[in-house]
Chains A and B, each alone.
Chain A
Amino acid sequence: MSEPLLPNGFEDLEPFVETWAKSDFAARYQARINSTMPQIKTFYETMMQAMERCATHLEAVAVGEMSPADRRLLYLTYAAMNVSPAVELYQQPDVWLGFEAHRLQLIDHIGTAVP
């Protein structure tokens, strides 16, 4: 049997994995500003409904012992946080009249705990 995309019980979120389960912040932000508002809204609303369920599952797994499926689920929760201002505040994917996002670089830093 092939490895599951997401942990047992989270099959309903599988359609979001390809677009949103990105391991780094820049890729998640890029996914947000490259998506349409209908795509973002569908993802946000589904994830906000599922968030407590996801957090309860993830909380029980030590960060160092996550399976690839657990990790993808974690990245989906990150992406939900990442897109939330688009829905809750801006009504568009990016900030209003902002500095170009690609020019604000994430630089190498010490101490990221992201698995």
Chain B
Amino acid sequence: MAAATPFTPAAEALGHGPVPLENYHSESVFLAEKEKIFKKSWLCVGRENDAAEPGDYFVQDLPICDTSIIVTRNRQGRLRAFHNMCLHRGNKVAVHPRGNVSRFVCGFHGWAYDNDGQLRHVPDEGSFHSLQKNRMCLREVALDTWQGFVFINVDPKPEQSLAEHLGPLEHMFDGFPHAGMKCVLSLRAEVNANWKLLMDAYMEAYHVLELHARSAPNAFNSDTNPDGHLNSVRLLGNHRSMSIYGNPEQVPTPAQALALKFVFGPSYTPAHSAQALEKVPGVNPDGRADWAFDSTLVFPNFSFYTSNGWFLRQLYWPVAPDKSIYESHMYMFEPQDTKGLIGWEHAKTQLFDVALEDLSTVERTQGMLRSGAISEMHLSDQEVLVRHGHRVVEQIINR
């Protein structure tokens, strides 16, 4: 008997039938996703403090939008985003992943731009005819922020503001103490699989008892919830969220127990998750003691994991119908002392090991799709967020 039934009428309305696998490898679906979703949506490319000081910048390559973006903080402290493309002959002006500059100098002929994108210097300017330097700026990209996350939209005239795009998510994490947390570990992998296949590996907890049986024994199920059913799910327009059950009786391993003693909340130890949790609407919304963390998919490709003392920013970037880039960034409170750093290492190791497990099935699945041996997948009630994701994409690309 399930400990909880997470289902809402909205989830029921998605139906129970099999879902076609075609969308995981079709070239035409991929191109439609590129034009109708990724070139039109607000995409999370970083954190505000990734460019904390005036002159700081970072570069995000966005193959799915056919571009590379520079995010930089200008002298007045405002974040701006530009296509990473010189106005002269199109070369990339920033070639390092991050840095601090007052001039982006194109390495081809030396054209130089300031942090507002304004063209400041053209070598041998006199050899050009009718160059209106003061009107020439790096092409700007829409930028806005939410909960410390930086979003861009490559649509020259975005159909929605970021707040409109977020809709029901906008205030769900008000009060989450993200500002005090630091990036502890950033991971990246090129994965030979469709971006939705990669994302769907993170849209349910049904896989945990098999795939993570060794990594997290007894953490996400118990005698009262033997199948590790979700505490709850929320379908939020194009976005979706779930709260993951945690076994409060889980006994930590010796190293995990030490890590927990050294720094609060680094490892996924459910017994500690719900303790002394600040009230945030989207975090453990059921107010349960048997809770581990929440996972919220900010459409189209950004998973925001929230728990007590940590959060995760995870991205699934499409590159080709059968190729994606996985990015995972873990944030935790800065330790008060050296002991905490030892605890951090345990959390990093756990994230790394679990990521290796999660990524393992994705390429194996993609490798079988074109065989045509099966053409659809069967989803349980526990996988309703996978179903929702496919429905949302289908609705948009068939518009």
Nearest A residue (CB) for B329 = A109
Shortest Cβ distance from A80 into B: residue: B255
Complex Cα gap A19–B192 (Å): 33
A98 vs B189: C-alpha distance in the bound complex, in angstroms?
13
Would B341 and A107 count as touching, CB distance under 8 A? no
Is A17 engaged at the interface, CB distance under 8 Å to the other chain?
no
Check if B356 sits within 8 Å of A104, measured CB to CB: yes
Within 8 A of B (CB), among A25-49: 25, 28-29, 48
| B253–A113 CB distance below 8 A | no
Residues A109 and B350 in contact in the complex (CB < 8 Å), given A55-B339, A63-B338 = no
A-binding segment of B11-19, B154-162, B180-188, B304-312: B180-188
B262–A95 touching, CB < 8 Å: no
Q: Which residues of chain A have C-beta atoms less than 8 A from B165's C-beta?
A: none
Are the C-beta atoms of A95 and B357 separated by less than 8 Å? yes
Task: Please name all residues of chain A whose beta carbon is closer than 8 Å to the beta carbon of B256 when the two chains form the complex.
Answer: 84, 88
Q: Are A59 and B359 in contact (CB under 8 A)?
A: no
Interface contact tally, CB-CB below 8 A: 134
Q: Dominant SS at the B interface?
A: helix
How extensive is the interface on chain B, given as a class? Answer: 35 or more
User: What's the nearest-Cβ distance from chain A to residue B258, in Å?
Assistant: 6
A89 touches B253 (CB 8 A): yes
The interface bits of chain B over 2-30 (1 if a CB of A lies within 8 angstroms of the residue's CB, else 0) are: 00000000000000000000000000000
What residues of B have a CB within 8 angstroms of the CB of A1 in the complex?
none
> With A81-B259, A84-B346, A104-B355 given, is the CB distance from A114 to B341 under 8 Å?
yes
**Which of B50, B98, B189, B349 is the one whose CB lies under 8 Å from A81?**
B349
Q: Does A111 contact B (CB under 8 A)?
A: yes
B353 CB–A CB distance under 8 Å: yes
Measured CA separation A63–B259 after assembly (Å): 18
B190 within 8 A of A: yes
B324 to chain A, nearest CB (A): 13
A-side contacts of B98, CB under 8 Å? 108, 110
Contacts of A99 in B (CB 8 A): 189, 355-360, 363
For B189, give its contact among A25, A90, A103, A109 (CB under 8 Å).
A103
Residues of A bordering B, CB below 8 Å: 25, 28-29, 48, 51, 55, 58-59, 61, 63, 74, 77-78, 80-82, 84-85, 88-90, 94-99, 101, 103-114
Listed from nearest, the 10 A-B pairs whose CB atoms lie closest are A84-B255, A98-B356, A99-B359, A109-B186, A88-B253, A81-B345, A58-B338, A111-B182, A78-B345, A81-B346
